[in-house]
Amino acid sequence: MKKLLLVALILGAAARTASSQETYSISAGAGNVSDLTAVVDVSNAKTCERNSLAPTCTQAQVCTAVSAPGGASCTAAQARGANVRIFPNTQPGREEYVTFQIALPKFNEIKADILARGQQQLCKFWTTATQPQKDALCTSSGQAAGCLLCP
């Protein structure tokens, strides 16, 4: 029964939703700002070149080149969605770069690892669970008793 409780807790943790929105920030010294500026410049140049444009292309040019939603007037979100964002070389532009190119991808990678670990724990338990325990997990996950949660 302890194992069943552990699996239920893992599944519950994976299904939790945020109850509020939070904002996080980090401080960057002059050296880091200089390095980040170079990183953003190289990223922007690669985006332009990947789309057969000059390395100093504009957001409008690259959005037009890939027929991004909004065309030459595409928004930052539309450009990110089309994977063609040219990040402004300003503090807000660098912050956007850190958020969407560094923090969010790493966060999603870690989140996927958590879900994979939960699945591993479930499969480990599944091999030793009794049929009533398996049926309880099936029904608690919205499936019919006798389902196969772990092959």
For the stretch 104-149, pLDDT in tens is: 999 999 998 888 888 888 899 999 999 999 999 899 989 999 999 8
CA 124 vs. chain centroid, Å, equals 27
> Tens digit of pLDDT for each residue in 73-98?
999 999 999 999 999 999 999 999 99
User: Residue 118 falls within a domain, yes or no?
Assistant: yes
pTM above 0.75, yes or no: no
The residue range of the domain holding 117 is 106-151
**Which stretches within 16-88 are classed as H helix?**
30-50, 59-65, 76-81
Per the structure, the count of domains in the chain is 2
Are both 32 and 77 inside the same structural domain? yes
pLDDT at residue 17, rounded to an integer: 55
Are both 85 and 32 inside the same structural domain? yes
Are both 50 and 84 inside the same structural domain? yes
- Spatial distance between the Cα atoms of 13 and 9, rounded to a whole number of angstroms: 6
User: Residue 57 falls within a domain, yes or no?
Assistant: yes
Are both 85 and 115 inside the same structural domain? no
Does residue 4 surpass a pLDDT of 70? no
Tokens 């930052």 belong to which residue? 76
Query: Following DSSP, what letter does each residue of 108-132 receive, concatenated?
Result: HHHHHHHHHHHHHHHHHHHTT--HH
For the beta carbon of residue 48, count every other beta carbon within 10 angstroms: 20
Are both 110 and 135 inside the same structural domain? yes
